[in-house]
A and B are shown apart, each in its own frame.
Chain A
Amino acid sequence: MKPIQLLRARRRSGRWHWTDIAAYAYLGLGVVLMFGPVVWLVLSSFKTQASLLEFPPSLLPLSQQEVRVQGFPQPLPLFAATLDNGERRELAQVRRIGLIAQMIDPADPKQQYRVPTAKLAPVRHLSFVTANYTEPLQKFAFTRYLWNSVFVTTIATLITLLINSMAAYALSIYEFRGKTVAMLMVIGTLMIPITIILVPVYLVVTKLGLVNSLWAVILPGAATPTGVFLLRQYMLTLPRDLIEAARMDKASEWQIYWRIVMPLAAPALAVLAIFSIMWRWNEFLWPLAVLTKSESFTLQIGLNAFQGELQTQWNYLLAMTVVSLIPVALVFVFLQRFIATGIANTGMK
Chain B
Amino acid sequence: MTDLPTGIEPQAAPTVPLLARLRRAGETALGTLLRLVDRPMRLLQRLIGERRMAYVFLLPNLVFFSLFVFVPLAIDLVFSFTGGESLFPSQRPYVGTDQYAYLFDCGSFLDPASCRVDHFWRGVANTLRFTMFQLVSMVAFSLVTALVLNMRIRGRGFFRAVYFFPVLLSPVVVALVWKWILQRDGLLNAGLTTIGGQKILFFVDPGWAMFWSVFVSVWAHMGFYTLILLAGLQAIPADLYEAAQMDATPRWRVFWRITLPLLWPNLIVVIVLALIRGVQTFDEVFVLTGGGPGTATLMIVQYIYETAFASQVQNFGLAAAASIVLGVVLFLLTLAQLSRTRSAS
Contact in complex: B38, A198 (CB < 8 Å)? no
Known: A197-B69, A255-B34, A314-B180. A185 touches B224 (CB 8 A): no
- What residues of chain A lie closer than 8 Å to B308, measured between beta carbons? 198-199, 202, 289
* CB closest residue in chain A, given B87: A203
- Who on chain B is nearest to A254 by CB? B41
Bound complex: CA of A163 vs CA of B45, how far in Å? 19
Decide if B170 touches A324 in the complex (CB within 8 Å): yes
**Contact A285–B283 (Cβ < 8 Å):** yes
| CB-based contact A321/B177 at 8 Å | yes
Inter-chain CA distance A174–B56, complex, in Å, is: 12
Q: Is the interface of A mostly helix, strand, loop or mixed?
A: helix
CB of A127 closer than 8 Å to a CB of B: no
Is residue B117 contacting chain A, with contact meaning CB distance below 8 A? Answer: no
In the assembled complex, 14 residue pairs joining A and B whose CB atoms fall closer than 8 Å, in A order, are A1-B155, A27-B162, A56-B190, A167-B57, A174-B51, A196-B76, A200-B73, A202-B309, A206-B87, A219-B68, A247-B50, A307-B179, A321-B172, A332-B168
Assess the B309–A332 pair: CB atoms within 8 A.
no
The answer to whether A167 and B60 touch (CB under 8 A), given A26-B144, A201-B72, A289-B305, is yes
Question: Does the CB pair B168–A195 fall under 8 Å?
Answer: no
Taken residue by residue from 239 to 277, chain B's Cβ proximity to chain A (1 for < 8 Å, 0 otherwise) reads as 000000000000100000000000000000100010000
CA distance A320 to B53 in the complex (A): 48
- How long is the Cα–Cα vector from A190 to B334 in the complex, in angstroms? 9
B76 to chain A: which residues have CB within 8 Å? Answer: 196-197, 199-200
* Chain A 294-312 interface mask (CB, 8 Å, partner B; 1/0): 0000001001100110000
When distances are taken between beta carbons in the complex, the residues of chain B under 8 Å from A10 are: 154
The reply to whether A318 and B180 contact each other, CB–CB distance below 8 Å, is yes
Q: Which 7 A-B pairs have the closest CB atoms?
A: A223-B64, A282-B170, A200-B72, A200-B75, A167-B61, A174-B54, A56-B190
Please tell me if B185 contacts chain A, counting CB pairs below 8 Å: yes
Contact of B53 (CB < 8 Å), options: A40, A203, A253: A253
CB-nearest residue of chain A to B325: A196
Smallest CB separation, B165 vs chain A (Å): 5
Minimum CB–CB distance for A197 against chain B, Å: 4
Most buried by A among B75, B152, B170: B170
Asked whether A53 and B185 contact (CB < 8 A) given A40-B180, A222-B64, the answer is: yes
A191 touching B287 in the complex, CB below 8 Å, given contacts A202-B308, A281-B170 = no
CB < 8 Å neighbour of B151 from A23, A54, A193, A331: A23
Q: What B residues does A164 contact at CB under 8 A?
A: 61
Partner of A186, one of B65, B190, B319: B65
Take A56-B193, A288-B305 as given contacts and tell me if A189 and B69 are in contact as well, using a CB distance cutoff of 8 Å.
yes
Residue of A nearest to B152 (CB): A13
Give 1 or 0 for each of B274-308: 1 = CB within 8 Å of chain A CB. 00000010110001001000000000010011001
Partner of A192, one of B177, B194, B327: B327
Closest approach, in angstroms, between the C-beta of A284 and any C-beta of chain B? Answer: 4
Chain B proximity of A200: nearest CB distance (Å): 4
How far apart are B57's CB and chain A's nearest CB, in angstroms?
4
Residue A258 lies at the interface, judged by CB distance under 8 Å to chain B: yes
- The interface residues of chain B lying within 8 Å CB-to-CB of A247 are 50
Mark contacts of A160-182 with chain B using CB atoms, 8 A cut-off: 1 yes-contact digit, 0 otherwise. Answer: 00111011011101111011001
Q: Which residues does B use to contact A, with CB under 8 Å?
A: 30, 34, 37-38, 41-42, 45, 50-55, 57-58, 60-62, 64-65, 67-76, 79, 87-89, 144-145, 148, 151-155, 159-173, 176-181, 185-187, 189-190, 193-194, 219, 224, 227-228, 230-231, 251, 269, 273, 280, 282-283, 287, 290, 301, 304-305, 308-309, 316, 319-320, 323-324, 326-327, 330-331, 334
- The answer to whether B72 touches A340, judged by C-beta atoms less than 8 angstroms apart, is no
Interfacial chain B residues near A349, Cβ < 8 Å? 167, 224
Asked if A170 and B180 make an inter-chain contact with CB atoms under 8 angstroms apart, the answer reads no
Interface check A34, CB cutoff 8 A: yes
Question: B168 — which chain A residues lie within 8 A by C-beta?
Answer: 278, 282, 328, 331-332, 339
Contacts of A204 in B (CB 8 A): 67-68, 71-72, 75
A344 touching B228 in the complex, CB below 8 Å, given contacts A171-B58, A285-B305, A321-B177: yes
**Is the C-beta of A136 less than 8 angstroms from some C-beta in chain B?**
no
Please tell me if A220 contacts chain B, counting CB pairs below 8 Å.
Answer: yes
Docked complex Cα distance between A283 and B164 (Å): 19
Q: Is the CB of B71 within 8 A of A199?
A: no
Task: Assess the B169–A328 pair: CB atoms within 8 A.
Answer: yes
Q: Given the interface contacts A27-B159, A38-B177, does A219 sit within 8 Å of B64 by beta carbon?
A: yes
- Complex interface: chain A residues within 8 A of B273 (CB): 347
**B65 neighbours in A (Cβ, 8 Å):** 185-186, 189, 223
Chain A residue at minimal CB-CB distance from B328? A196
Contacts of A324 in B (CB 8 A): 170, 172-173
| Chain B proximity of A23: nearest CB distance (Å) | 5
Q: Is the CB of B301 within 8 A of A199?
A: no
**B305 near A300: Cβ-Cβ < 8 Å:** no
| A278 partner residues in chain B, CB cutoff 8 A | 168
Closest Cβ of chain B to A62, distance in Å, is 15
Q: Which residues of B contact A192 (CB under 8 A)?
A: 69, 73, 327
Contact B54 A176 (CB under 8 A): yes
Residue in B closest to A186 when the chains form the complex, CB atoms: B65
Interfacial chain B residues near A189, Cβ < 8 Å: 65, 69-70
- Contact yes or no, B170 A300, CB < 8 A: yes
- Point out the residues of chain A lying under 8 angstroms from B331, CB to CB: 191
Known A195-B282, A199-B79: A176·B52 in contact at CB below 8 Å: yes
A2 to B120, CA, bound (A): 55
Contact A166 B68 (CB under 8 A): no
CB contact between A195 and one of B185, B189, B190, B326 (< 8 Å): that residue:
B326
